[in-house]
Structure 1
Amino acid sequence: MGTPLGDFVRAKRDSIQPEALGLPDHGRRRSPGLRRSDLAARAGISVEYLTRIEQGRDRNPSTPIVNALADALSLAPAERTHLRYLAKITGGECAGRTRPAPPRRDVRPTVLATLRLLEPGIAAVTNRLGDVLARTSGYELTLGAAGLLDTDAPNLTRYVFTDPAARTLFPDWDDVADEQAFDLWLGPSVENSEWLTTELAPVAGPDFTARLNRHTVPRRGVLRLDHPSGDRLRLHRETMELAAEAQQLTVYLPADEATEQALDRLRHPAPQRLRAIS
């Protein structure tokens, strides 16, 4: 049985072409990407040890080994952080650590007060599962307009992968889906595993499972929305971690003047004219 760490190392190895690292192309091979022997040589470890890591038979590599793999794969800073995180949770599972508490659903009063100060802007508090725990009226006007908030317990991850309206709301749906799948790795792993097994994976289908196991570190660029009003919105995102609660406060800011004007129209719709009936 594999591990998140092994899956990530194998996925990155498969995605790298030898010439990108200045290595000779050895010709046709059965699978794409970098050979195990090339990666092992670059990391200074044996092919047998790399195989054990990728297959999940070694779940607790040392910090120097993890750093050597990061160097050998030429990982970007965000990917290095993710690799270290996966090594930590993989080692924790192996050591049989205490079951993590489920993610909190209550929001601190001071955070709620911060949301009120952000009105009528666009902001929300979520957890790593994608539960929308609190939001401003601006969030309801924009991301909630296409049905995201129609359930008693709105969840952005479930919405993205199971509601057809999400593919219309997010023109860059693939990027948003990668973000939501990636963030699931950052929550309490046992709680995530149970939620995925019992609720999300059966209805989200194989596309979701494939994205989860690819460990694609998202770009998190400008978020584009095709709002039901007909406006194309472009939003910057600033996310503040609420580490003690494993929650995030995300504020959405207009990325251009056209978006700013469209948001103003949403907040202050023009009054409809009355028609005289003869």
Structure 2
Amino acid sequence: MAETTNRDPELARTLLRRREVLGAVCDGTGDKRTIVDQLDIPRSTLDDVMRELSDAGLVRYADGEWVPTTVGRCARDIHEAYVERIAGLAGAAAVLEPLSDADIDPAMLDGCTVLEPDAVLPDRNVTAFTERVRDATSLQGLVPQALAGHVPSVHEEMIGDPEMTTELVFDTAVYDELLELYPERTAVALEHDAITMYRAPLDTEYGLWIADGDSVGIIVYAGGGARGIIMNDSDAAVEWALERFRAARDRAEEAPAE
């Protein structure tokens, strides 16, 4: 069987130009008059569009109406998924802007929720993290930087729930700084049976957490605060985050009780 490797750029261009009409046909609107009214386009223009879609193998005329071909329906679905992923990337662009070339998997941005600072309360987005900590029964994370003002509240959430287990990998310098700033809180955390703290040099430019093994968040730092938070609960995003966490944990050493 011959292998087809040719990529036809014209198909992609046709899909981009005629996506609204193809979408209407895929959604069951096969009558031209209905499409004209629905999309508010001239009948003569629609005739040209249908001819173009038919020539591209995306639609066909059957039993008095236009219907999508298998290729047409698949093309519409692929294009919609692409547009959704680009929308996620565009929504996260302002938050990701400070990062040089971070190795964030596209799955983290596909269908993500983006929280940017509030104009009145700049650190309001960080409360999303503390709320996830409050609701979680397990928490894993990478801590390349820390927002000192939020350390007490996060600490209370971690030690206040007897059913919560926590594993955190701190950048060595950050761990040493927190130990100096909060010696008593650090000692309590180290002695807690359900909290394990590690330290290692971390080269990541963002903080990372996984809550209950099914929800992921990254914190991008800038200007001494949180530039923004990106959250996702897809299986692919969780798998990527767990791989990142486990790789860092495997290189780290467990922090000893002082």
> Normalising by the residue count of structure 2, what TM-score does the alignment of the two structures yield?
0.28
Query: More strand per residue: 1 or 2?
Result: 2
Q: Indicate the structure (1 or 2) with the bigger Cα radius of gyration.
A: 2
